[in-house]
């Protein structure tokens, strides 16, 4: 079987054709989902049954978190959308899952991503923890690549 469960993970974001990205400690989202269409069908015994077939396909947004640093690349990327330049903000990218030794475990690619939300989160001076930043990327497609 040879399957290994990895503990500490990092996520490396690469934005194709633009500056930005970096290393993140948390990733959520990226699911794919089809709407379910219920279709009435005549069964061999004469009863009416329901057949479920796939409808429209959609991909969930990707949310990444990391410690806040002095880099402004993610904020500048988000600012393009705020300024109405969403076509300029769109780009393809990859997310590489890394183990604690920074060795790749899995790679995912997204298409036509743009930052729908940016949050400098966890900025409480009274707590003994690092300030975080969070970015949510809306994508048109998200898939695992070999």
Strands (E), 99-140: 104-119, 132-138
The Cβ of residue 135 has, within 10 Å, a number of other Cβ atoms equal to 21
pLDDT tier for residue 67 given thresholds of 50, 70 and 90: confident
Model-level pTM? 0.82
Domains of the chain: 10-145 (2.30.110.20)
Question: SS3 for 65?
Answer: strand
Q: Convert the pLDDT of each residue in 76-97 to its tens digit.
A: 999 999 999 999 999 999 999 9
């Amino acid at each position: 079987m040879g399957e290994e469960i990895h503990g500490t993970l990092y996520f490396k974001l690469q934005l194709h054709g633009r500056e930005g990205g970096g290393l993140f400690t948390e990733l959520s989202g990226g699911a794919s989902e089809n709407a379910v269409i219920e279709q009435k069908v005549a069964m061999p015994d004469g009863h009416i049954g329901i057949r479920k077939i796939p409808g429209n396909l959609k991909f969930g947004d990707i949310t990444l978190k990391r410690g806040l640093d002095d880099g402004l690349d993610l904020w500048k990327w988000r600012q393009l959308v705020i300024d109405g330049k969403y076509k300029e903000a769109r780009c393809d990218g990859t997310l590489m899952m890394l183990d604690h030794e920074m060795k790749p475990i899995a790679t995912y690619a997204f298409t036509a991503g743009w930052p729908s939300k940016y949050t400098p989160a966890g900025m409480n001076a009274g707590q003994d923890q690092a300030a975080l930043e969070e970015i949510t990327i809306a994508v048109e497609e998200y898939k695992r690549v070999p």
